Each structure stands twice: as structure tokens, then as C-alpha cells.
Amino acid sequence: MPRLESSPLGLTETLSITFAAGPDKFKLESGQHFGPITVAYETYGTLSPQHDNAILICHALTGDAHAAGISSEDGRVGWWEVLVGPGMPLDTDRYFIVCANVLGGCKGTTGPGSLNPATGQPYALDFPVITIEDMVRVQKKLLNYLGIERLLTVIGGSMGGMQALSWAVQYPEMVASAIPIATSPALTAQGIAWDEIGRRAIMADANWDHGNYYAPGHPRPDAGLAVARMVGHLTYLSEESMSNKFGRRLRNRDRYSYSFNVDFEVESYLQHQGEIFNRRFDPNSYLYITRAMDYFDLRGQDESLTETFARTKSDFLFISFTSDWLYPPSQSQLMVDALREAGRGEAVEYFDAISPYGHDAFLLEAQQQGPVIRRFLERVQREKF
């Protein structure tokens, strides 16, 4: 039995819905028609009679629907517990909050590890290539099911921020505000390169077997996924945070081993991150979700970022972190400038938080971003509902 940790929200349950199970399949950005699709989600708080308090949280690459509370399934505390809960900036006494696992994921929503009804076997690489826009349109189906016609805000960090941006562009009438945190209107060449290194590490593992590792007894490409996680995790940290946390300290020794065993604390830490990631994530999902991030470009076809933002109607709060070199503040500033050029300067707020934690700051810096988020939500609810 897993050890239950404490949370003011108490136990939370992951629910699910399934759609596109009949002949009317879900049309993907690629043009492929796909279904059925199951969506795993959690909700916190109560939807008001006026339906004016709904918030959608979008998770990052390795996240899931369990944003807060204690999972009734495995006792885990939610990944955004620092911001979500009673009296918190995302106040479950005041707001009705929804968080769903993305399409292509491996925590309850249909992904490459799900059974293909046509074959009775996992999809593996028969799963279609998906986009951030596809993820958002699947979330829209969930909100339709929940009876939510308008959102007070859509909020998320990293890939979650990409989804928040896509929501504001795809559904301008539905989204009163968006809070994209530590994100970008499109991955840089460097960001795409990091994703490709992670994918190649997985595909180079002999156990990957072209994605066909789901059969009982077939070993998973855990070594490849661990390397992908180590590389990815490294990009989430800053040089300052790594120096403060590890420096050049040796691991359980006072001299070099003169071998390729673990000598340094930082080596041990990265190996540990790879090992625990293997317990909770599907390597094929890592391939598909990182590819969706690569393809994301907020600009519409043949239009500028300014023209794209001119089509939105949401208020925006952008949050960045000074030490985040993966999604640097310059990317948020680019979007702020585009909104102002589009004549929507009155709808934009921007907070660049001073933090040593790198990209991971969006998961950690509750004291800095929390009050800014709280004030923004109170203003939007007062002025737009």
C-alpha cells in the first residue's frame, strides 16, 4: 500500500470519458480520423450556478491529470500542489478547476500504449502523430461534457503554456483569459534539438523494437528513456541551481574511483531521475508528445505573431523566470510585444520573476507567481463576468 502524504484537498479521483467511439471519428491536424478517445481528468471545487469560475490547468510534457490533492490510486500528491487548493492562488473554494491528461499521454488518456480496438493490441507506432492543437480540441470535448461554455482562465507552464496559448487562438470567445507560464510561441531550434536527442536515445535502445515492447515479458527501452529523461531534466535546471545543489561534490567517497562508476553527486542525481521516470512514463508517449511540441507554432499559416494575437480576445498574464534558458524571458517578451503591436496592450500583464531554479521554477516558485496569479484572476472575474 503506498504511503499517503498530506494535502488540504484530501483524496482526489481520476475520472474519464470516451468519445468518437462510433463512426464519427475525431479529425486530427494531420487529416487523419481517429477514435475512440478516452480522456482522463480530475476536477477540484464546485462549478458556480453562473458558470463563471471554471479554470483549466494544462500540464507539461511529463505531467498528468493529477494536479492537486492525494491520488486515490497511488497516494501521490499533485504536481502543482503549491498553487492549487483551498485558499491557494488557484483557490478550490472559489474556482472550479479541471486538469486532463493530454492526448498521446500514458496516464489514462488514449496514447500509443492504449489498445487499438481494430487489433486488440497496443497502438505503438500505429498511433497517429498529434499536435498541441489536437490536445486542445480533445480538452474542448471534455469541457463540453462538463457543461463549461466559458473559461475564466486557461493556465499552464512549459508545454502547458503552449496549450493555454492555443486555447486563446482556437477558442477566442470561450477563453476570458490565459496564463502562459515559462513558455514560447514556438520551440527554438535548440529546443527542438534537445527533443530529438531524447527521442534518439529511446529509439537507439535495442529494447525499443520499433515501439513494439508492450508484449508480456518484452523488456522496455528503459535505458533509452532514462537517458532521455536525464537530458531533458538537465534543461529544466539552471547553472546556478546545479552549482548550489551539487557543485563538484563526490558521491560517498573522498577520492576519484578512476572508473566509469558514479563519482559525482550530480551523476547520481541524474541517474536517479532516469530510474524513477521509468516507473511512471511510457517511452512511446515521450516520442509523440515531444514531437507535438516541436510542431507547435502559434503563428497561423502565412501570418505574423502580431496578426495571430490580433485574433484573440483573452486577457493575458505572461510569467517567465530569469534563469530559465530553455524558455527564456525573451520568448514571453516577444509575445507581450506582439500583443501590444496588435493594439491589445491593455489586455496584457507580464511578470518576469527573479529565480535561480531555471525552467523548473514554474513548478516551485509559489511565493512569487502566486500573488500575481491571484490578483489577475480576481480582476478578470470582476471585469469579464
Over residues 28-48, the pLDDT tens digits come to 999 999 999 999 999 999 999
158 flagged as catalytic: yes
Q: Cα separation of 262 and 274, whole Å? A: 14
The structural domains of the chain, with segments of one domain joined by +, span: 11-187+298-384, 192-291
359 flagged as catalytic: yes
The one-character DSSP state at 53 is -
Kind and range of the H or E run holding 275? helix 265-278
Q: Which of 71, 177, 359, 360 is catalytic?
A: 359
Give the model's pLDDT for residue 320.
Answer: 98
CB atoms within 10 A of CB 259: 7
pLDDT digits (tens, 9 = 90+) for 2-16: 445 678 899 999 999
Those residues of the chain that have pLDDT short of 50 are 1-3
Q: Which of 158, 238, 285, 332 is catalytic?
A: 158
Q: Cα separation of 375 and 232, whole Å? A: 33
Q: The domain 11-187+298-384 belongs to what CATH superfamily?
A: Alpha/Beta hydrolase fold, catalytic domain (3.40.50.1820)
Check: CB of residue 155 under 8 Å from CB of residue 55: yes
233 flagged as catalytic: no
Cα 219 vs. chain centroid, distance in angstroms? Answer: 27
Give the model's pLDDT for residue 7.
Answer: 87
What is 192-291's CATH topology?
Rna Polymerase Sigma Factor; Chain: A (1.10.1740)
Cell 486555447, residue located: 167
Give the model's pLDDT for residue 301.
Answer: 81
Give the model's pLDDT for residue 372.
Answer: 98
Give the model's pLDDT for residue 309.
Answer: 97
Give the model's pLDDT for residue 33.
Answer: 97
Give the model's pLDDT for residue 5.
Answer: 66
